């Protein structure tokens, strides 16, 4: 079985330990599950950053407006790229991380109406560029199917390498193969998120792409360095560092949001199950309170304002048929 050339270094081990510890801290906050606004903002940041790396000129606010279905003035191709990316990122949990067919499907979604060879491997030679500079020439198009097949076989059958490291190794190997004529960067960044999300669901809302955008020049430098060295060690260390730093930012944001949620709202969230509508009386019974005024003022209204629950009849807040959903 093919195995990507790399060595587990002390830096990889230290970063992996740090990442695992920070993931535990985020999970202990009950965090992102209770913060739909923060989750959505992180996903929008991921999409915007991933597209900026590919020279999409739309601003973060414009990306947010496109996703919200608003009219945005800008290049139609770039607007379509946002729609495609949002659809793909919304499907992260539906993709089989070990399926080559699903990767091709993801590329097809990401490049819909913007690339001629959408959802298909390239049929011509390609190179990896940083601006005008050629970093390396990718393998021949004739080798792409077998190289990708080998990569997915390793990904599925290597039970020794931790998924955190495998996601970074996959990222580098994919970039080296450069299997598509266009959309390689968008696809591999999405697929690393798929791999990490299947390892720990919290990664669906961790905007690693923002760090890649921030260190884009170093990103390509590490790829070039690894190509010369014949292994992916430095790139894996680099990606682990970016994941680690991204988690630092998420912890700060989660901590800030947590401080804004009262004990009453936390109690409300504890007694409600996701997607199950409850009446005010049912919620009062679960909370053990008797005043509807208290329920609205201290529990329901703050939770609605923070986007933590919603009304089933938002246009009729006082309806006797009103229900509340987490």
**Distance (Å, rounded) from C-alpha 29 to C-alpha 253?**
11
**Distance (Å, rounded) from C-alpha 266 to C-alpha 83?**
34
Nearest to 39 by CA among 308, 317, 263, 287: 308
Q: 131: exposed, middle or buried (C-beta count within 10 Å: 0-12, 13-18, 19+)? A: exposed
DSSP category for residue 125:
-
Is 120's pLDDT higher than 90?
Answer: yes
**Distance (Å, rounded) from C-alpha 58 to C-alpha 72?**
9
Domain endpoint, select from 231, 259, 287: 259
- Give 222's pLDDT tier (boundaries 50, 70, 90): very high
**Distance (Å, rounded) from C-alpha 258 to C-alpha 5?**
43
Average pLDDT for residues 213-236, to the nearest whole number? Answer: 95
Tell me what percent of the residues of the chain surpass a pLDDT of 90: 80
1 within some domain: no
Q: Which SS3 state, helix, strand or coil, does residue 41 take?
A: helix
**Distance (Å, rounded) from C-alpha 168 to C-alpha 150?**
16
pTM (two decimals) = 0.82
Q: Residues 158, 101: one domain?
A: yes
**pLDDT mean across residues, the chain:** 93
Structural domain total, the chain: 2
Q: Residues 254, 276: one domain?
A: no
Is 28's pLDDT higher than 80?
Answer: no
Is 29's pLDDT higher than 70?
Answer: no
DSSP states along 170-226: HHHHHHHH--SSS-HHHHHHHHHHHHHHHH-GGGGG--HHHHHHHTHHHHHHHHHHH
Q: Residues 66, 102: one domain?
A: yes
Q: Residues 49, 162: one domain?
A: yes
- Span 47-84, pLDDT tens digits: 999 999 999 999 998 999 999 999 999 999 999 999 99
Give the domain extent around 284: 263-325
């Amino acid at each position: 079985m093919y195995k990507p050339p790399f060595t587990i270094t002390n830096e990889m081990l230290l970063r992996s330990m740090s990442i695992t510890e920070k993931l535990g801290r985020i999970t202990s906050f009950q965090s992102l599950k209770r913060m739909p606004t923060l989750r959505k903002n992180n996903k929008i940041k991921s999409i915007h950053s991933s597209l900026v790396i590919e020279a999409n000129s739309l601003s973060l606010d414009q990306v947010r407006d496109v996703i919200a279905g608003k009219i945005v003035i800008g290049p139609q191709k770039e607007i379509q790229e946002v729609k495609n990316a949002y659809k793909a990122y919304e499907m992260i949990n539906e993709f089989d991380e070990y399926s080559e067919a699903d990767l091709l499907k993801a590329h097809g979604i990401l490049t819909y109406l913007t690339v001629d060879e959408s959802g298909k491997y390239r049929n011509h030679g390609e190179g990896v560029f940083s601006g005008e500079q050629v970093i390396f020439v990718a393998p021949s198009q004739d080798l792409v199917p077998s190289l990708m097949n080998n990569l997915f076989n390793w990904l599925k059958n290597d039970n020794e390498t931790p998924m955190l490291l495998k996601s970074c190794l996959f990222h580098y190997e994919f970039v080296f193969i450069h299997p598509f004529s266009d959309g390689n960067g968008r696809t591999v960044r999405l697929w690393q998120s798929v791999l990490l999300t299947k390892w720990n669901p919290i990664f669906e809302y961790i905007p690693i792409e923002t760090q890649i955008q921030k260190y884009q020049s170093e990103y390509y430098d590490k790829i070039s360095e690894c190509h010369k060295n014949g292994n992916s060690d430095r790139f894996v260390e680099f990606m682990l560092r970016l994941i680690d730093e991204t988690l630092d930012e998420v912890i700060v944001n989660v901590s800030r949001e947590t401080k804004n949620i009262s004990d009453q709202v936390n109690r409300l969230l504890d007694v409600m199950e996701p997607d199950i509508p409850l009446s005010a009386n049912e919620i009062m019974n679960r909370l053990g309170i008797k005043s509807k005024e208290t329920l609205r003022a201290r529990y329901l209204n703050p939770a609605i304002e923070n986007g933590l629950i919603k009304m089933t009849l938002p246009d009729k807040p006082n309806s006797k048929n009103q229900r509340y959903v987490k």
